[in-house]
């Protein structure tokens, strides 16, 4: 395993776990840890952003990406898809709204699947 892959693995795992745990803490009212969940989720998000910047630096690419219309569109599509999937899961698991939650989650999954041909292209 190369050094950049190992560092990405460690930072991605720690950041992902902190972000997921923070969002669970914020979204499950029985835990009573909304404020603490937001803080832990933000720490996880910062670690994930640092991982992205470190990875790009280790690959010899510029740390900051030149923003184009396609880049912004891809980011927006990814965020909307992830939010759709997360909202669908919350509808099912937290608010016990099975059918609307599954439908919203499926829309989020389809949006995330649209990222593959957008980023990689169709050959």
In the predicted structure, residue 21 carries a pLDDT above the cut 90: yes
For residue 114 the two structure tokens come to 């649209």
Rounded Cα–Cα distance for residues 52 and 54 (Å): 6
In the predicted structure, residue 109 carries a pLDDT above the cut 90: yes
Answer yes or no: do 123 and 100 share one domain.
yes
Looking up tokens 């939010």 gives 83
Domain boundary among 42, 65, 88: 65
Domain count for the chain, please give it.
2
Under DSSP, the state recorded for 34 is H
Answer yes or no: do 11 and 49 share one domain.
yes
- Confirm if 3 and 50 have CB atoms less than 8 A apart: no
The pLDDT of residue 1 = 86
42 in the Ramachandran plot: left (φ > 0), alpha (ψ -120 to 50) or beta? alpha
For residue 28 the two structure tokens come to 């499950």
pTM: 0.66
DSSP string over 85-99? HHHHHHHHHTS--HH
In the predicted structure, residue 65 carries a pLDDT above the cut 80: no
Answer yes or no: do 38 and 73 share one domain.
no
Q: What range does the domain containing 28 cover?
A: 1-65
Answer yes or no: do 71 and 103 share one domain.
yes
Answer yes or no: do 3 and 38 share one domain.
yes
């Amino acid at each position: 395993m190369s050094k950049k892959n190992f560092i990405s693995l460690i930072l991605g795992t720690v950041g992902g776990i902190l972000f997921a745990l923070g969002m669970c803490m914020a979204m499950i009212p029985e835990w009573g840890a909304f404020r603490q969940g937001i803080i832990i989720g933000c720490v996880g998000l910062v670690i994930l952003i640092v991982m992205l910047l470190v990875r790009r630096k280790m690959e010899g690419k510029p740390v900051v990406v030149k923003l184009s219309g396609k880049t912004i569109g891809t980011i927006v599509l990814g965020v909307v898809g992830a939010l759709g999937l997360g909202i669908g899961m919350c509808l099912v698991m937290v608010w016990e709204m099975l059918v609307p939650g599954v439908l919203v989650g499926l829309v989020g999954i389809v949006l995330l699947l649209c990222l593959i041909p957008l980023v990689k292209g169709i050959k």
